Amino acid sequence: MDKLVTVIIPAWNAERWLENTLRSVLDQSYRQLRVLVIDDGSSDGTAAILERLRREDGRLDYRTVENGGPALARNRALELLPEGTDYVMFLDADDLLELDAIEYALRNAQGAELVIFGFSIRQPDGTLLPYREREELLDREDLAAALPRLYKANLLNQVWAKLFAADLVRELRFPDYRWGEDRLFLFDVLERLQRLKVLPGCRHIYVMHEGESLITRYYEKKFDVCCEIDRRMEALCRELGVREDADFRYMFAKSVFSCMTTLYARSCRLTRAEKLAVTARIGSDERVHLRCRDAAGGLPTRALCAVLRSGKPGLTLACFRVVAWAGEHFPGLFTRIKHRK
């Protein structure tokens, strides 16, 4: 328990949440840590908070960079890892760690290069939705059987709620995307690691803020990234010898559904004609026709896949407008459906 853990946090205009996030790290029961924050060109009081807390606790350091998004900010942090770092954790600037999170991960790592622990989504009303899997230590041969379950359980979508061996990630970099870069980074990790530990305890809290939409921001490259993620997962399955891919097709289908619902996000400024063009492109894509077929997920998934593959952009757009509306007006139900295993 003398290992140095560096916690990497990208921060952009995070003054409303950043201090609570940093306190949840600096107050950890495990004290042998460093916190490296990359201020991603903030224009609010983020830098002032960082400077004040740095003076209070020398374990905190930060750098300010020109705004480039969380992927580039994390890459900069990987370039600046403090000497002697044994493990790396990633944390978003508005999330929280339970105060024993790092100690919990380290004590139970059993020599694994990657430790995955559970997380909870804290909804605006204060309720917690836990995401966890049973405890297991997996070597490379075991990973083939566990991979579909871990992926479908939403434990491989993000880099937080994980402890990485520094030697495993020191030379890796996040692709310069505004969505999906976490998964692609994790795939790089999974291609290289020899031992993985899964822990059931929920030690990370993903905080949803009042008024925050469950429909993520529109991103013009999102569908292309979805396809890249699916190709990478297919390659990883081939390497590991995973034969059944219904769960992976289900996860691809869900990501395509997300591409459609974000057409109704507040951040989307496309005209109806432009939305129809996007819908037509997605609906005619060969990967969508091949992969969004016989996916796991039950009747709702099959029905939406059938709509996607119908070749009728108007119908498809209208259907996903209803889905987006449900996300806005029934967030609890939408969350459970979106994240169900």
Of 59, 50, 56, the C-alpha closest to 13 is 50
Say if residue 87 is in the same domain as residue 134.
yes
Verify that 178 and 306 share a domain, yes or no: no
DSSP assignment letter at 264: G
Task: Report DSSP letters for 241-253, one per residue.
Answer: T----HHHHHHHH
What is the tens place of the pLDDT at every residue in 145-168? 999 999 999 999 999 999 999 999
Asked whether 26 and 60 are in contact (CB, 8 A), the reply is yes
Range of 274's domain? 222-338
Q: What is the mean pLDDT of residues 85-107?
A: 98
Task: Read off the pLDDT of each residue in 75-88 and give the average, rounded to a whole number.
Answer: 98
The residue length of the chain stands at 341
Cα torsion angle, 10, 16, 21, 26, sign:
positive
Instruction: Please indicate, yes or no, if residue 291 is contained in any of the structural domains.
Output: yes
Indicate if 38 and 184 belong to the same structural domain. Answer: yes
Is residue 216 situated within a structural domain? no
Within 8 A by CB and 6+ apart from 226, the residues are 180, 252, 255, 256, 258, 259
Domain boundary among 207, 236, 267: 207
Looking only at the bridges linking them, the beta strands covering 114-122 and 162-165 are antiparallel
Phi, psi of 153 (to 5 degrees): -80, 5
Mean pLDDT of the region 126-133: 92
CB atoms within 10 A of CB 54: 16
Question: What single string gives the DSSP state of each residue in 289-329?
Answer: HHHSSS-SSHHHHHHHHHHHTTS-HHHHHHHHHHHHHHHHH
Least confident of 237-246, 304-313, 324-333: 324-333
Q: Is 216 or 143 the better-scoring residue by pLDDT?
A: 143
Among 207, 242, 262, where does a domain finish? 207
Q: How confident is the model at residue 337 (pLDDT cuts 50, 70, 90)?
A: low
Q: Say what the pTM is.
A: 0.93
Q: What is the pLDDT of residue 223?
A: 97
Q: Are residues 48 and 193 in the same domain?
A: yes
Give the integer Cα–Cα distance in Å for 132 and 62. Answer: 32
β-pairing verdict for 33-40 and 5-11: parallel
Per the listing, tokens 């996300």 go with 327
Q: What is the pLDDT of residues 169-188, one digit of tens each?
A: 999 999 999 999 999 999 99
End-to-end CA, the chain: 35
Query: How many whole angstroms from its chain centre is CA 130?
Result: 15
Residue 65 inside a domain? The answer is: yes
Is 212 within a domain? no
For the chain, what percent of residues have pLDDT higher than 90?
84
Q: How confident is the model at residue 203 (pLDDT cuts 50, 70, 90)?
A: very high
330 in a structural domain: yes
Q: Does some domain include residue 169? A: yes
The residues pairing with 5 across neighbouring beta strands, listed in sequence order, are 33, 87
How far apart are alpha carbons 263 and 217 in whole angstroms? 9
Q: How far is residue 336's CA from residue 215's CA, in Å, rounded to a whole number?
A: 14
Domain total in the chain: 2
Same domain? For 158 and 250 the reply is no
